[in-house]
């Protein structure tokens, strides 16, 4: 088996699965608010009863990436109010994060933790590690306070994401954590109708949403 095939197999075998508990992991970080290096672990976030949002991106000092991180920064406060700790992650070091954040004007409002994954270990865990380039694809993951992966989105290098949709998905998941018998339909936002799955609405979802 070639080294590349071995790497692909390793990536596949380590991938966290939606609906399953995420294995513990730890990341070295740069904290823009404190202007300091540190570390964060899933166990630490779970101990705080917080949601975890991981936003993987390919690399510092690139092109689409600063636009995504700037967009995420606009939603950071709102995400935090819903009980989430946000961590951006790439395979760069925390030292590169510091240099990039302080030189790229688009990142001036970034206050969330910037995670370093130079070995690709955490990227492999979430199935976003590109063995050919050593970079991470654009993966967004939401982990609930109990450590279960509840949302997964992976884009290729050339398509940026929308933090508004990330916020909407977190809102829905926070709501459902408090109302586990319900389900949120497409484009659901707080105040809109939800669905309560049962035999009564099979084939009658329109009526359930519009009565």
Q: Active-site residues: which are they? A: 65
Q: What are phi and psi of 41, to 5 degrees?
A: -130, 155
* Residue 90 bridge partners (DSSP): 116
Please state, in angstroms and rounded to a whole number, the distance separating the CA atoms of residues 186 and 208. Answer: 14
> Helix (H, G, I), strand (E, B), or coil: what is residue 135?
strand
Q: Is 5 exposed, middle or buried (0-12, 13-18, 19+ CB in 10 A)?
A: exposed
Please state, in angstroms and rounded to a whole number, the distance separating the CA atoms of residues 89 and 29. Answer: 9
Q: CB-side exposure of 101: number of CA atoms within 13 Å?
A: 25
CB 126 within 8 A of CB 53: no
DSSP 8-state code for residue 70: H
């Amino acid at each position: 088996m070639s080294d590349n095939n071995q790497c692909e197999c390793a990536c596949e075998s380590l991938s966290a699965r939606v609906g399953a508990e995420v294995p513990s992991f730890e990341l070295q970080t740069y904290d823009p608010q404190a202007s300091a290096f540190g570390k964060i672990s899933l166990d630490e976030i779970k101990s705080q009863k917080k949601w975890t949002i991981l936003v993987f991106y390919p690399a510092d000092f690139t092109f689409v990436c600063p636009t995504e991180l700037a967009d995420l920064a606009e939603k950071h406060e709102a995400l935090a109010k819903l009980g989430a700790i946000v961590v951006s992650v790439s395979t760069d070091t925390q030292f590169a994060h510091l240099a990039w954040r302080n030189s790229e004007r688009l990142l001036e409002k970034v206050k969330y933790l910037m995670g370093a994954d130079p070995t690709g270990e955490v990227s492999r865990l979430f199935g976003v590690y590109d063995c050919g380039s050593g970079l991470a694809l654009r993966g967004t993951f939401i982990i609930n306070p109990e450590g279960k992966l509840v949302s997964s989105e992976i884009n290729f290098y050339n398509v940026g994401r929308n933090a508004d949709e990330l916020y909407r998905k977190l809102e829905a998941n926070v709501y459902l954590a408090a109302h586990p018998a319900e389900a949120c339909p497409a484009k659901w936002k707080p105040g809109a109708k939800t669905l309560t799955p049962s035999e009564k609405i099979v084939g009658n979802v329109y009526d359930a949403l519009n009565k």
